[in-house]
Amino acid sequence: MKRRAPFSAILFILLTVSACDRVRNVTSVQDPIVLGYSQLGDESSWRTQNSFSIKAAAKRTGIKIMFEDAMQDPANQIKALRSFIAYKVDIIAFSPLVETGWDTVLGEAKAAGIPVMIVDRMIDTDDESLYATALCSDFDLEGRKAGEFLIRKFKDRAAPVNIVELAGTAYSTPAIGRSEGFRKVLEQYPKFKVVYSEDGDFMQSKGREIMRQVLKRFNPKDINVLYSHNDDMTFGAIEVMSEAGLVPGKDIAIVSVDATQRSIDYLKAGTINCVIECNPNSGQQVMELAKRIVAGEKVEKRLYVQETTFDEFGDLDSIPARGY
């Protein structure tokens, strides 16, 4: 672990007595690793579980975590990263809201000798030396899985399959991957048409809002599929469909991403037809990687979280409780 600037003896006593948080960073062989974590927000059930998983794993593994919630604002994330640098944490981890805009602050971390882990979403940079490792889901694969489900579901249909897409936060890795992967698979089948796509920021309230607009704009009979980039937006859209007298999962097929317990319950009830898992429980892996990186080990540059798909063609009774 890196040595921090020594405190004077008096300051040390004062800070110890005041039980100030920072005191735990006074150098000794047993000092815990200090991890600065910048979380992008709390926009969804997935995110709430992700934050829980990270904090719980830090506690379990004896890592001292400084956790900052950026409330969906990249400027707050940059501020948090700078405060971690000023504090001289041992390692920084962060889930970037969007892909671009990080080079300067990560350059500052690098200059300060603080390693950086990227978690959940990816950054777009030409300089790979700015981070030690990135642990993310394969969002392009998630998008492709969503497309593959539709190919199977509509294999006997010759008529057009009109799709409404509720996309995640613009310029974020999951929204990009889930859109691109989906289109990559479906473009070989001209009957599939994305007739409407809008950014719902991964939020239930926006899912509701956008679905309302969609039902004003289109005759519901002309919509065959709702592809939603996360469960929370799906829940909002389901509410609106039901209020409009539609039967979600029957009148409009639904593909959702995340696999929260509620979406699995909907899948079992036939309200959702396919759920692509996106696993938020990365906490333990993050802490293990943090320990290895702080110990000076070289770790793999790119790591992917293992994920599966649940759909109406599978054995729904065997799905284990999700825990989120």
Cβ 42 vs Cβ 51: under 8 Å: yes
Q: Does 46 bind ligand GYE (CB under 6 A)?
A: yes
Q: How many CB atoms lie under 10 A from the CB of residue 8?
A: 8
Output the smallest distance, CB 121 to ligand GYE, in A.
5
Q: Which stretch binds ligand GYE (CB under 6 A): 39-47, 110-118, 152-160, 207-215?
A: 39-47
Q: Which of 68, 90, 258, 311 binds ligand GYE (CB under 6 A)?
A: 258
Q: Does 206 bind ligand GYE (CB under 6 A)?
A: no
Output the smallest distance, CB 207 to ligand GYE, in A.
11
Cβ 231 vs Cβ 262: under 8 Å: yes
- Nearest Cα to Cα of residue 138 among 170, 176, 171: 176
Q: With respect to ligand GYE, which residue has the nearer C-beta, 162 or 256? A: 256
State the amino acid at position 167 in one-letter form: A
Q: Does 140 bind ligand GYE (CB under 6 A)?
A: no
Going by DSSP bridges, is the β-strand pair 274-277/309-311 parallel, antiparallel, or unpaired?
Answer: antiparallel
Q: With respect to ligand GYE, which residue has the nearer C-beta, 137 or 162? A: 137
Q: With respect to ligand GYE, which residue has the nearer C-beta, 43 or 68? A: 43
Q: Which two tokens stand for residue 128?
A: 């790979």
Phi, psi of 126 (to 5 degrees): -90, -10
Output the smallest distance, CB 42 to ligand GYE, in A.
9
Q: Which stretch binds ligand GYE (CB under 6 A): 5-13, 19-27, 38-46, 243-251?
A: 38-46
* Cα separation, 304 vs 302, whole angstroms: 7
Q: Which stretch binds ligand GYE (CB under 6 A): 44-52, 213-221, 266-274, 309-317?
A: 44-52
Burial class (CB in 10 A: 0-12, 13-18, 19+), 223: buried
Q: Which of 58, 164, 257, 293 binds ligand GYE (CB under 6 A)?
A: 257
3-class SS letters over 206-246 = HHHHHHHHHHHHCCHHHCCEEEECCHHHHHHHHHHHHHCCC
Output the smallest distance, CB 292 to ligand GYE, in A.
23
Phi, psi of 89 (to 5 degrees): -65, 165
Q: With respect to ligand GYE, which residue has the nearer C-beta, 45 or 271? A: 45
Q: Does 309 bind ligand GYE (CB under 6 A)?
A: no
Binding site for ligand GYE (CB under 6 A): 43-44, 46-47, 120-121, 137, 174, 202, 230, 257-258, 278
